Amino acid sequence: MRNSVKILVIGQLPPVINGQSLVTKSILDVLIKENYHVDFLPLTSLNHSNSILLRLNKFGFYFKSFVDFIRLTYSGNYIVYLNGARSIGGTFRNYPFLMFSKIFGNKTVLHFHCGDIDEFLESQNLVVRFLLKLVYRLPDKIIILSSLIRNNFRQIENRNNIVVIKNAVDIIGKPKILSASESVKLIYMSNLILSKGYFDVLAAVNYMVNDLGLKNITCDFCGEFLTSFDDPKSNSIESMKSDFFEFIRKNNLSCHVNYHNLVLDQQKADLLAKSHFFILPTNYSTEAQPLSIIEAIANGCVIITTNFRAIPDMVIDNFNGKFVEYGNPLSITQNISYFVNNPSVYESSSSNSVLHYQKYFTIDNFNNKVVELFEQIRN
């Protein structure tokens, strides 16, 4: 056992389902597999609920985790891993863990899953920006998801401490073909946030079915309806759902659109395995390297997405997918129609997706990078 240094992982794990919790589980799994001494502390983030009781419960949970953290790490000899935050509350939630780790002589690793820290800092007033940058100065190592977003971390001091570890999944997929005898299956798999472009996907399906007469098109929408800070202020989950299902009803798309809410495990695997195209025309502010795109390329999907943040790591235009304009459903329609009319191009693009995954985004690649980082810190 590599027990000369202990590792404390702080964060959320499934059944909380998002890219951050899934990657935290992958980190935990590889460290345990490699025989490190690993402890885990669950951490819940404070949210903006108006419920005083919920706030008190969350604070109590956080306080207990912090007491456990002190108990475990006060004697030093720990590497503390936790997720970076793109919010004022989340950043100052991390501050005591980072500060006391420094006091006790522990090393710290902060793992960011977003791609726009500079934009976040620039949106704050001078005092808050100064305080946030003090917090970001504390970690010994900062993990980001791609070299493509390194320039979005310019305001973090000690940029030499930044390391790139790409997300990964453990999937054995295979290339797909487009058969004239079966329907063309599209999938949108992410939270249904307006700036992620889900309504543009719905509008593109309408173009294909009702304007182009492609009646063999079906699209699965997988994810929860959520509001976001970069959405219109008048937006609400109720209005988003109402608009979505009313559009389906008004345009007679019920035979072409399926909504599954959040999908997990085998249901997710089955949907990706049978889908020809994965569509995510996103402009979501905190987007970095969507885990869902990696899952899609591993399954041989051809990707229709935007040239945004770290997405070009996973999608190469005219290689394993196409970049489209954000907010332009017609460009989605045109590119899918192109592949449908050129099945040989589709099939080579599907093969390229699998090859690209196998080269850069396998769980073995991820595990090797994680072990390399922790060994560097340990030594």
> Tens digit of pLDDT for each residue in 249-304?
999 999 999 999 999 999 999 999 999 999 999 999 999 999 999 999 999 999 99
Reported as a single tens digit per residue, the pLDDT across 97-150 is 999 999 999 999 999 999 999 999 999 999 999 999 999 999 999 999 999 999
Its pTM stands at: 0.93
Cα–Cα nearest to 302, from 350, 335, 348, 339: 350
Q: 174 falls in which pLDDT band (50, 70, 90)? A: very high
Q: In what order do the strands lie in the sheet with 257-261?
A: 257-261, 217-222, 184-189, 277-280, 302-305, 321-323
Cβ–Cβ under 8 Å, residues 165 and 366? yes
Residue 49 pLDDT: 52
Rg (CA), the chain: 22
- Predicted confidence at residue 48, as pLDDT, reads 47
pLDDT of residue 46: 45
Neighbours of 56 (CB within 10 A): 10
4/172: higher pLDDT: 172
Residue ranges per structural domain of the chain:
2-168+362-378, 184-360
Categorize the per-residue pLDDT at 58 as very low, low, confident or very high, splitting at 50, 70 and 90.
confident
Domain 184-360, CATH number (from 1.10.760.10, 3.40.50.720, 3.40.250.10, 3.40.50.2000): 3.40.50.2000
| Angle between helix 291-298 and helix 19-33 axes, rounded to 10 deg | 70
pLDDT at 4 over 90: no
Task: Assign a CATH topology to domain 2-168+362-378.
Answer: Rossmann fold (3.40.50)
Tokens of 276: 């020809």
> Which stretch of DSSP H or E encloses residue 267?
helix 265-274
CB contact set of 40 (below 8 Å; sequence gap of 6+): 8, 9, 10, 13, 28
Cα–Cα distance measured from residue 230 to residue 331, given in angstroms and rounded to the nearest whole number? 23
CA distance 281 to 205: 13
In sequence order, the 6+-apart residues with CB closer than 8 A to the CB of 26 are 168, 363, 366
pLDDT band at residue 3, thresholds of 50, 70 and 90? low
* Beta-sheet pairing, 107-111 with 184-189: unpaired
pLDDT of residue 60: 86
The pLDDT assigned to 16 comes to 80
Beta strands 277-280 and 217-222, pairing class: unpaired
pLDDT beyond 70 at 26: yes
Q: What angle do CA 70, 13, 29 make, to 5 degrees?
A: 90
Residue tagged 């809410």 (tokens): 261
CA separation (Å) from 132 to 8, 201, 356? 23, 37, 37
pLDDT at 50: 57
Asked whether the predicted pLDDT for residue 328 surpasses 80, the reply is yes
The answer to whether domain 2-168+362-378 and domain 184-360 are alike in fold is yes
